[in-house]
């Protein structure tokens, strides 16, 4: 077993990266200051993984949409009962989620940590699917899909992604459709489980108060060795253009909702410093202290509580997004494009750059006081091939020139506006 101590002189913190003989990578991040210990067990497997190729097989395979989310629901069940009930007996608060690129199971607790960790390692490695239980879940998830279909925030985002992308599965609902989940069988679930829930394709992160030797001894006991199968995502070729520049729908909302943004080259921001530069640029461009936001707010075009922005990227997709409520979404989109044009012509002001850099750096250092923020940050960065302390260092080291250079990838001819208007 290989154990590496990873230190950050800048943050004054450290953690241990453990390469377990079973293939699982384990991150042990001691934090004595808080009362909560947090654990998250995640697989590099999400809703975009509907077509994949295993390294031990000759060709790709396509499966029904929504299987990753379906698996997350079903994995809590076993012949011995429900995992949530087991966690309740130890006093732990447990949850799980499926995103576009990962499926994660987590819990937090203030006592009986080792008992809860044993439950987590047990049920995630013990799939149990039957025809009867799979059919029962179809009705439950079908209702969930219909609920999200009526959710304006959900609709404005997925309308945006469908307008942005021609073929990439990021445009598909995470839970699938009522039609696609009707095709899911126990055989499909076991097939995807054995492909993606391979310990070589997973990571475990623990943050808080724990005994490292006890944790590793439990991992030695509970983790089940498996063959090192590599899984490659298979996507259709995605054009550089957007599918539709504008998309609109009417639902029961008080004010129009909008999502506006730009399609970017997937995988262009390879390093932690690339990511830091883009996030500082967005802070310069659209944070509450930016000239753009003040103009939008003073003009009554946005409100403080709903306006948001983010760089959203992953395997085969990348987009810069702005969203919120506005009585005139088109005016907000024009103002954003005009501000980007101004920064391209005049340059990013140094004062704005320094302010944004300090704000983001301080925010990330502050997050190191939260066990859940650390655990989710370590896992999400790991699954994307990045590292937490390297990202924090990049935020401190990035230059004005590196931030300004990211303006070139915000292209007006690759923008999309999605609007949900009142009925």
Q: Just list the catalytic residues.
A: 72
Supply 316's token pair: 């085969």
* C-alpha pair distances (Å), 50 with each of 56, 103, 125, 130, 149: 18, 14, 22, 22, 21
For the chain, how many residues are written?
423
Cα 174 to Cα 224: distance, rounded to the nearest angstrom:
29
Cα 153 to Cα 417: distance, rounded to the nearest angstrom:
14
**Phi and psi at residue 238, in whole multiples of 5°?**
-100, 125
Does residue 32 sit in helix, strand or coil?
Answer: coil
DSSP string covering 126-195: -----HHHHHHHHHHHHHHHHHHHT-HHHHHHHHHHHHH-SS-GGGS-TT--HHHHTT--HHHHHHHHHH
Supply 335's token pair: 């103002």
Ranges of beta strands (E only) in 66-127 are 77-78, 81-82, 93-98, 103-109
């Amino acid at each position: 077993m290989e154990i590496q101590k990873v230190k950050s002189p800048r943050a004054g913190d450290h953690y241990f990266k453990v390469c377990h003989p079973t293939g699982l990578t384990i991150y042990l991040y001691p934090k004595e200051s808080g009362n909560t210990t947090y654990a998250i067990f995640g697989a590099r497997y999400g809703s975009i993984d509907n077509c994949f190729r295993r390294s031990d097989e000759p060709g790709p395979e396509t499966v029904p949409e929504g299987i990753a989310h379906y698996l997350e629901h079903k994995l809590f069940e076993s012949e011995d009962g429900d995992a949530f009930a087991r966690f309740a007996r130890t006093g732990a608060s447990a949850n799980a989620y499926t995103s576009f690129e990962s499926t994660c199971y987590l819990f937090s607790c203030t006592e009986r940590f080792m008992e809860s960790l044993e439950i987590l390692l047990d049920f995630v490695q013990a799939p149990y699917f039957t025809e009867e239980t799979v059919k029962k879940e179809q009705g439950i998830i079908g209702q969930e899909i219909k609920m999200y279909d009526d959710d304006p925030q959900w609709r404005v985002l997925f309308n945006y992604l469908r307008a942005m992308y021609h073929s990439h599965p990021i445009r598909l609902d995470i839970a699938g459709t009522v039609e696609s989940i009707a095709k899911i069988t126990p055989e499909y679930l076991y097939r995807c489980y054995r492909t993606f829930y391979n310990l070589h394709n997973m990571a475990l992160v623990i943050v808080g108060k724990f005994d490292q030797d006890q944790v590793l001894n439990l991992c030695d006991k509970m983790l089940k060795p498996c063959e090192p199968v590599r899984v490659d995502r298979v996507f259709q070729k995605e054009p550089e253009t957007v599918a539709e520049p504008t998309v609109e729908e009417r639902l029961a909302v008080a004010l129009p909702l909008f999502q506006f943004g730009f399609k970017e080259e997937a995988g262009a921001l390879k390093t932690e410093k690339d990511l830091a530069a883009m996030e500082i640029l967005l802070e310069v461009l659209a944070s509450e202290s930016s000239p753009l936001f003040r103009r939008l707010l003073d003009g009554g075009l946005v409100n403080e509580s709903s306006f948001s922005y983010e760089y959203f990227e992953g395997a085969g997709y990348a987009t810069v997004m702005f969203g919120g409520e506005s009585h005139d979404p088109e005016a907000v989109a024009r103002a954003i494009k005009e501000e980007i044009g101004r920064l391209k012509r005049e340059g990013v002001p140094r004062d704005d750059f320094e302010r944004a850099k300090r704000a983001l750096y301080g925010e990330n250092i502050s997050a190191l006081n939260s066990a859940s923020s650390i655990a989710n940050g370590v896992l999400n960065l790991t699954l994307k091939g990045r590292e937490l302390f390297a990202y924090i260092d990049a935020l401190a080291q990035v230059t004005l020139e590196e931030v300004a250079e990211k303006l070139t990838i915000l292209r007006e001819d690759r923008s999309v506006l999605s609007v949900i208007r009142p009925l």
